[in-house]
Structure 1
Amino acid sequence: MNWMVANRGLVLGVGGALIAIALVGWGFSAWQGSREAKAGAELAEAIELQSRPISSEGSAQPGQETFASKEEREKAVIAALEKVRADHRGTTAAQTALAEIGFHKLKGADAAGAQKDLEQFLASAAKGHPLRPFAQESLGYALEAQNRLDDAKAAFEKLRDLELPARADYQVARLALLQGKPDARQQLERVAKEHPKDLDVVREANERLELSSLPPVAPGQAKAPAAKPEPKEAPGKKPQGKKQK
């Protein structure tokens, strides 16, 4: 106690410093929270553009904004997502926007562009980000679309790190089937046996097995639809014509 009285200036200084640090931390958290909230609102607006109708489809409600074409809508969505990234760097919303851009590019057949964005997202996003599993699997598809099958397999294998062993096994087996490997069907059969509780994965594996069992159809082998038979006249019925006077 005597020491505190003798050094009350130091004690008050340390206490004041601790309070100041706490206030700074609180202020940063509040600022960060406000920043995340604003970024999240802009992200929601960007994603909402995807649901706006096309004017030619005639499904718009009175007063609802529309797009002239699907291509125009897609460009607007990507531009809005890019704006979220540019205006709110370092936020969760910006990372989410990056993943969404990758998904859109993959859907639009820009596999190389999708790969770049998805790899950047996976390298920067938190481990618990809800889009990480989808981004990891989409990265595999992007590499597969570029015929980089070994890299695609490696990307799909990483689904195990995200506690998705069933999807990893399915994707690896699917690639084996695509490459014509002799044990591909056995791999797909094992997916259904080893992951019976993952119903979606089991269904996809069974569908692949069914498709692989169908005989290939060579060009020109497809049968043309049979022509409709001409209607026959009823027995004893004569064609009607003008009466002779």
Structure 2
Amino acid sequence: MRTTVAEKSEKMTKQELTAQDAFQLYGAEASNWLMKRQQLIGAALGVLLVGGLIAATVHYFSSRGEEKASKQLGQALTVLERPVVTGVDLQPAEAGQEPPFKSEKEKDEAIVKALGDFRAAHGGSDAAVTAALPLGKAQYRLGNYDGAIAAFDEYIAKGEKNEPLMVSAREGQGYAHEAKGQLDQALASFQEMAKLDAGGFLQGMGQYHQARILVAQGKKDEAAQLLADLKSTQTNTAAGRLATERLAVLAAEGVKIPEPKAAPAAAQDAG
């Protein structure tokens, strides 16, 4: 008979698999990625169509002397606009329009081709570096972890260090190493992720991912300390809630849960 803790553990695992992490935040792929890009290019605030955001990205790179590359980047990114439609008979696409994709795999393959071709034609440009991030995500989803790591590595090495999306690149890099069983490298990626200024769902997730890897390495006491600190400082975030559930599982496994070393979030806000 399954225990309550076991049921909770299974629930937590399912929650993590379906949680809106950095890759699934890309799940509005173009809109969410480009909305964040808005912060860099000074585009107007508000809810904008994906096409408008792509146009803003094109303008951003045009202003940096990459007019030709920027236009072709905009064309390559349009693949992200096309939806995936399954389980229904599709009507022929209207003249001048591309049909929906029949599967997520088909879409990711199209993303890899479009962005791969663009980067081959514009190697060394800032636009090509930017394209490495969505390329890495698509490679990861396709199970091409070496290709994903190469793309994320390039983005991290050549992108602007204060780039808001750098945190997503570090997370992707960590996930890809983890998928290959390279836990030391994954831990290092998540440690770097935790140093970056993340917001929204990603707040605190670098620390949470570190704890996951430490558990996988058998270092449960170290993981418990990280999770206790995270629970204390990120109470109202997704990472804080995941930390609370993970701590419950560790406690059920006999791990002693330590007091947090970091000050509670309320105390930090007061200071």
Measured after TM superposition, the shift of residue 137 of structure 1 is: 1.1
Alignment partner, residue 178 of structure 1: 216
Match of 2:230 among 191, 196, 202: 191
Alignment partner, residue 121 of structure 1: 155
- Give the direction of change, closer, same or farther, for the CA distance of 1:79–1:162 in structure 2 (3 Å limit): same
Task: Provide the rounded CA distance (Å) in 2 between the counterparts of 1:194 and 1:170.
Answer: 12
Match of 1:148 among 179, 182, 186: 182
Task: Provide the rounded CA distance (Å) in 1 between the counterparts of 2:180 and 2:170.
Answer: 16
Task: Provide the rounded CA distance (Å) in 1 between the counterparts of 2:64 and 2:204.
Answer: 41
Task: Provide the rounded CA distance (Å) in 1 between the counterparts of 2:175 and 2:239.
Answer: 16
Greater relative contact order: 1 or 2 (C-alpha under 8 angstroms, separation 6 or more)?
2
Measured after TM superposition, the shift of residue 192 of structure 1 is: 0.8
Instruction: Determine if the alignment matches structure 1 residue 202 to structure 2 residue 202.
Output: no
Alignment partner, residue 41 of structure 1: 74
Contact 2:177 2:186 (C-alpha < 8 Å) held by counterparts: yes
Tell me the percent identity.
28
Match of 1:79 among 94, 113, 134: 113
Structure 2: 5+ residue runs without aligned partners? 1-61, 254-271
Corresponding pairs, count: 184
Task: Provide the rounded CA distance (Å) in 2 between the counterparts of 1:147 and 1:111.
Answer: 11
Measured after TM superposition, the shift of residue 104 of structure 1 is: 1.2
Measured after TM superposition, the shift of residue 202 of structure 1 is: 0.5
TM-score (norm 2): 0.58
Measured after TM superposition, the shift of residue 87 of structure 1 is: 3.0
Where do residues 1-245 of structure 1 align in structure 2 (5 Å cutoff)? 32=65, 34-35=67-68, 37-49=70-82, 51-54=83-86, 56-58=87-89, 63=94, 65-164=99-198, 166-183=204-221, 184-196=223-235, 199-212=237-250
Contact 1:85 1:94 (C-alpha < 8 Å) held by counterparts: yes
Measured after TM superposition, the shift of residue 147 of structure 1 is: 1.5
- After TM superposition, the structure 1 stretch with the greater mean CA deviation from structure 2, 164-173 or 59-68, is 59-68
Task: Provide the rounded CA distance (Å) in 1 between the counterparts of 2:229 and 2:245.
Answer: 14
- Give the direction of change, closer, same or farther, for the CA distance of 1:145–1:201 in structure 2 (3 Å limit): same
- Give the direction of change, closer, same or farther, for the CA distance of 1:105–1:40 in structure 2 (3 Å limit): closer
Measured after TM superposition, the shift of residue 180 of structure 1 is: 2.7
Task: Provide the rounded CA distance (Å) in 2 between the counterparts of 1:157 and 1:134.
Answer: 13
Paired AA for residue 228 in structure 2: E
Task: Provide the rounded CA distance (Å) in 1 between the counterparts of 2:241 and 2:115.
Answer: 34
Task: Provide the rounded CA distance (Å) in 2 between the counterparts of 1:92 and 1:129.
Answer: 13
Larger radius of gyration: 1
Measured after TM superposition, the shift of residue 162 of structure 1 is: 1.8
How far does the alpha carbon of each residue in 1:154-178 deviate from its partner, in whole angstroms, 9 at most, with x for none?
Answer: 1111124423583332222221222
Alignment partner, residue 7 of structure 2: none
Contact 1:43 1:93 (C-alpha < 8 Å) held by counterparts: no
- Give the direction of change, closer, same or farther, for the CA distance of 1:210–1:129 in structure 2 (3 Å limit): same
Task: Provide the rounded CA distance (Å) in 1 between the counterparts of 2:165 and 2:91.
Answer: 30
SS in 1 for 2:204: helix
- Give the direction of change, closer, same or farther, for the CA distance of 1:106–1:188 in structure 2 (3 Å limit): same
